[in-house]
């Protein structure tokens, strides 16, 4: 069974993380959610990253705000795919988090979704897993088809509404 770890620098980040966990669970992916800080619990971050693959983790999502170093620290200690999830902040609206995550040094890639983009972080993790797991890939295709069907239905309804103007 596929397994994704979602780490957050602070428990207060959970509202941003929740949509990622929900997306993964909808697809039947085992999800481990932890609070681990790159700055306040660096030993735990290091140990988690070094043992993640051995513990069955295949993708890691790291949510963090402000300095937002969690994804980079985790990526430094593992070859597993790491997805950065920037958390909106009061000071710069999340731009600080986004820039901290997206500007990794050469050799330490961290894929990055938009600020507070929890659902997209979960979906990106699923797309990565879909390379290995055909059932996940199939479910993603169905998910995307259902989104397209909804948009097409909305467009059709709008066109009907516009005829009555």
Q: Tens digit of pLDDT for each residue in 103-140?
A: 999 999 999 999 999 999 999 999 999 999 999 999 99
Q: What is the pTM of this model?
A: 0.94
- Residue range(s) defining the domain that contains residue 162: 138-165
Strand order in the sheet with 30-35: 30-35, 3-8, 59-64, 82-86, 111-112
How far apart are alpha carbons 165 and 155 in whole angstroms?
Answer: 16
Based on the fold, state whether residues 73 and 147 are members of the same structural domain.
no
Based on the fold, state whether residues 117 and 144 are members of the same structural domain.
no
Based on the fold, state whether residues 67 and 145 are members of the same structural domain.
no
Give per-residue pLDDT as tens, 81-107.
999 999 999 989 999 999 999 999 999
Helices and strands in the chain: count of H runs, count of E runs: 6, 5
Give 5's pLDDT tier (boundaries 50, 70, 90): very high
Task: Output the furthest CA–CA distance in the chain (Å, rounded).
Answer: 65
Based on the fold, state whether residues 111 and 76 are members of the same structural domain.
yes
Beta strands in the chain (DSSP E): 3-8, 30-35, 59-64, 82-86, 111-112
CATH at residue 124 = 3.40.50.1970
**Backbone torsions φ then ψ of 123, nearest 5 degrees:** -70, -35
Binding-site sequence positions? 10, 13, 40
**Domains: count for the chain:** 2
Judge whether 96 and 89 are in contact, CB under 8 Å: yes
Based on the fold, state whether residues 19 and 82 are members of the same structural domain.
yes
Based on the fold, state whether residues 107 and 158 are members of the same structural domain.
no
Give per-residue pLDDT as tens, 136-155.
999 999 999 999 999 999 99
- In this predicted structure, what is the pLDDT of residue 1? 78
- In this predicted structure, what is the pLDDT of residue 67? 86
Based on the fold, state whether residues 142 and 96 are members of the same structural domain.
no
Based on the fold, state whether residues 80 and 102 are members of the same structural domain.
yes
Binding-site sequence positions for substrate? 10, 13, 40
- In this predicted structure, what is the pLDDT of residue 89? 92
Based on the fold, state whether residues 89 and 142 are members of the same structural domain.
no
- The residue assigned the tokens 């988690």 is 48
Give per-residue pLDDT as tens, 20-65.
999 999 999 999 999 999 999 999 999 999 999 999 999 999 999 9
Based on the fold, state whether residues 23 and 39 are members of the same structural domain.
yes
Of 13, 4, 65, 78, which Cα lies nearest the Cα of 39? 65
Based on the fold, state whether residues 39 and 115 are members of the same structural domain.
yes
């Amino acid at each position: 069974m596929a397994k994704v770890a979602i780490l957050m620098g602070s428990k207060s980040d959970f509202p941003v993380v929740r949509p990622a966990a929900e997306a993964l669970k909808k697809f039947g992916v085992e999800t481990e959610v932890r609070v681990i800080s790159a700055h306040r619990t660096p030993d735990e971050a290091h140990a988690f990253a070094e043992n993640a693959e051995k513990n069955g983790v295949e993708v890691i999502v790291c949510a963090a705000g402000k300095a937002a170093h969690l994804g980079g620290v985790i990526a430094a200690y593992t070859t597993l795919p790491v997805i950065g999830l920037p958390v909106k902040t009061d000071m710069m609206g999340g731009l600080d988090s986004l820039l901290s995550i997206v500007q990794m040094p050469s050799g330490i890639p961290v894929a990055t979704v938009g600020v507070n983009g929890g659902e997209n972080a979960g979906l990106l993790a699923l797309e990565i897993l879909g390379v290995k797991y055909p059932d996940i890939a199939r479910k993603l295709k169905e998910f995307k088809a259902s989104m397209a069907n909804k948009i097409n239905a909305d467009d059709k309804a709008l066109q009907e509404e516009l005829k009555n103007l």
